[in-house]
Amino acid sequence: MSNNNKYGNIYVSHHTIATIACQSALESYGVVGLAAKNLIEGLAQVLVKDPTLGVEVHYDGREIQIDLFVILEYGLRITSVSSSVADNVAYQIEKTLGIPVNKVNIHVRGLRISNPD
C-alpha cells in the first residue's frame, strides 16, 4: 500500500497491518490469544515465532479486509467479545494508517479457561 504526498511516498506492508491488528486484538477484553489459520501455519510457528500469527490481510487498493483467528475466554458471550474485537481492530488500523477498513472477520478457533480458581 502506498500514499503519495508533497513530501514523498509512504509504503505500508501487509505485515505492518497484520501486526497492528494482532496487537489490538490481544489488547481486547476476552481474547486469550490468536490461533493458527491452518496446520501448516501452526507448524511454521513452532520453528519461527511470527507476531502476526492468526491474522490475514487483504487489500484491494482502496479498503482493507482482515481475518482474525482467535481463542476466547470461556464463560464470556462470544458474539459480544467478537464484535468488540472487530470494532477495536478496525478503529486502531483506521486511526494509525488512515486507510478505511471494510470488514474484520472473527473466526473463533477455541475457548480457554485462563484462571481455574
Q: What is the CATH number of the domain that holds 64?
A: 3.30.70.1350
Distances (CA, A) of 78 to 9, 72, 106: 41, 8, 10
pLDDT per residue over 14-49, tens digit each? 888 999 999 999 999 999 888 877 666 555 554 556
Tell me which residue has cell 501487509. 14
Report field, pTM of the whole predicted structure over 0.75: yes
In a domain, 80, yes or no: yes
Q: What pLDDT is recorded for position 95?
A: 93
pLDDT at 78 over 60: yes
Q: What is the rounded distance in angstroms from the CA atom of residue 19 to the CA atom of residue 33? A: 14
The alpha helices in 48-77, defined as continuous H runs, are none
The residue among 78 and 115 whose pLDDT is bigger is: 78
State the total domains in the chain.
1
Identify the pLDDT of residue 65.
Answer: 93
pLDDT confidence tier of residue 62, bands split at 50, 70 and 90: confident
pLDDT-based confidence at 53, cuts 50/70/90? confident
Expressed as residue numbers, the domain containing 75 is 13-112
In a domain, 105, yes or no: yes
Give the pLDDT confidence of 79-107 residue by residue, as tens digits.
999 999 999 999 999 999 888 899 999 99
2 found inside a domain: no
| Within-domain flag for 31 | yes
Ramachandran area for residue 54 (φ above 0: left; ψ -120 to 50: alpha; else beta) = left
Report yes or no on 101 lying in a domain.
Answer: yes
Domain-located, residue 79? yes
- Structural domain includes residue 5: no
Residue 6 lies in a domain: no
